[in-house]
């Protein structure tokens, strides 16, 4: 009797899987980049408990929304093996969360024969420490989410002050907040016009993320080529700014308030993401570059966490595949 042949296991499309998850949140009425992190232990940004390193790029959204769904109050994550090494045990029935990273493969250029490196998107599973028994968890830092209304948040102010070569910031925007590439200026309503300091900094960080794309900085084409409102280039830049603001809020240790989102706003993102499964990961990578620039961190040095001993593996979730498009030369909101 001939042995039954088992077909190869279907290859996971991580791009599509991540996009499907983001679209799922949108279809439920939540834009994950608007409020991806809950305040809690670990300064508000998902970290690996073993290494202490922050997760980056799309992983900030994936783990942040997982925390929001499950009600986790702690911001630390680790792999199953890392938990075992610390005498921890994943609780029965708990499901892990997807984490992505980039692994570089060396091959030869078919034309020149020269060695080239190609990034490949990989993934692994992580568990929140609340899903694991037997671990020692660091003490919680001061909770910044209860700051008095309209009082500056020190860490957020420090980030703004530390943004080297930043644009001009004018509080003359009336009821509008926008970045104008032609003059390299951010225009904001007065701080007291916002209903909370968190809301103010969330909007300011959105506009500062736009400014990072100026030709004098990361050169995303903001001041060189016009893109129509609603076009793919415009949508990509807005997505970068939304994610960048979320990342900077997390770096400040604050959670921006959940903003009511209109059905048309949510549907517009659903349509855009369903049309391009690679957009959300690419935009998250560009947003991470923007945040690194604003914070003054070196992009190459800030690594994600990859559970592998292969030295060729890089866990930087901010490598963007494909070519960058040129967003709008206009006021960006």
What pLDDT is attached to residue 328? 30
Q: Cβ(223)–Cβ(214) under 8 Å? A: yes
> Over 80: is that where the pLDDT of 330 sits?
no
Q: Domain for residue 310, yes or no? A: no
Q: Domain for residue 7, yes or no? A: no
Q: Domain for residue 279, yes or no? A: yes
* pLDDT tens-digit map of 151-204: 899 999 999 999 999 999 999 866 678 899 999 999 998 888 887 888 899 999
* pLDDT tens-digit map of 85-97: 999 999 999 999 9
Q: Domain for residue 313, yes or no? A: no
Q: What are the DSSP E strand ranges found in 109-223?
A: 115-128, 132-133, 168-170, 178-180, 185-187
**Distance in angstroms (rounded) separating the CA atoms of residues 317 and 306:** 10
Sign of the alpha-carbon torsion through 57, 62, 65, 66: negative
What pLDDT is attached to residue 45? 82
DSSP 284-321: HHHHHHHHHHHHT--TTT---------TTB---TT---
Q: Domain for residue 163, yes or no? A: yes
Containing domain of residue 114, as a range?
Answer: 14-295
Per-residue buried b or exposed e for 262-288, using 16+ beta carbons within 10 Å of the residue's own CB? eeeebeebbebbeeebbbbbbbbbbbb
Number of structural domains (the chain) is 1
Q: Domain for residue 142, yes or no? A: yes
Phi, psi torsion values for 309, nearest 5 degrees: -95, -5
What pLDDT is attached to residue 141? 52
pTM of the model: 0.65
* Whole-number CA gyration radius for the chain: 21
> Over 90: is that where the pLDDT of 128 sits?
yes
Q: Domain for residue 333, yes or no? A: no
Q: Which of 3-12, 168-177, 201-210 has the lowest mean pLDDT?
A: 3-12
Q: Domain for residue 53, yes or no? A: yes
């Amino acid at each position: 009797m001939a042995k039954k042949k088992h077909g190869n296991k279907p290859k996971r499309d991580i791009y599509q899987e991540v996009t499907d998850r983001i679209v799922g949140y949108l279809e439920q009425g939540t834009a994950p980049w608007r409020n991806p992190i809950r305040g809690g232990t670990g300064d508000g940004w998902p970290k690996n408990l073993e290494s202490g390193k922050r997760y980056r790029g799309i992983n900030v959204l994936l783990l942040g929304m997982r925390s929001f769904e499950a009600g986790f109050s702690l911001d630390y994550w680790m792999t199953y093996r890392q938990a075992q090494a610390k005498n921890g045990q994943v609780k029965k029935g708990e499901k892990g969360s997807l984490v992505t990273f980039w692994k570089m493969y060396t091959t030869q250029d078919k034309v020149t024969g020269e060695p080239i490196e190609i990034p490949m998107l990989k993934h692994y599973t992580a568990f929140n420490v609340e899903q694991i028994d037997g671990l020692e968890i660091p003490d919680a830092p001061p909770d910044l989410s209860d700051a008095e209304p309209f009082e500056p948040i020190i860490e957020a102010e420090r980030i703004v002050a530390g943004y080297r070569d930043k644009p001009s910031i004018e509080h003359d925007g009336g009821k509008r907040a926008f970045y104008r590439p032609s003059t390299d200026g951010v225009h904001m309503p007065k701080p007291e016009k916002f209903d909370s300091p968190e809301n103010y900094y969330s909007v300011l960080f959105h506009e500062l993320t736009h400014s990072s794309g100026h030709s004098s900085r990361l050169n995303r084409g903001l001041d060189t080529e016009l893109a129509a409102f609603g076009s793919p280039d415009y949508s990509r830049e807005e997505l970068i700014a939304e994610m960048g603001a979320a990342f900077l809020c997390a770096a400040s240790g604050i959670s921006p308030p959940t903003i009511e989102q209109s059905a048309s706003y949510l549907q517009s993102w659903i349509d855009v993401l369903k049309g391009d499964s690679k957009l959300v990961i690419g935009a998250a990578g560009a947003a991470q570059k923007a945040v690194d620039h604003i914070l003054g961190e070196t992009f190459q040095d800030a690594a994600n966490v990859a559970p592998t001993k292969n030295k060729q593996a890089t866990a930087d979730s901010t490598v963007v595949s494909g070519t960058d498009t040129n967003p709008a030369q206009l006021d960006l909101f």
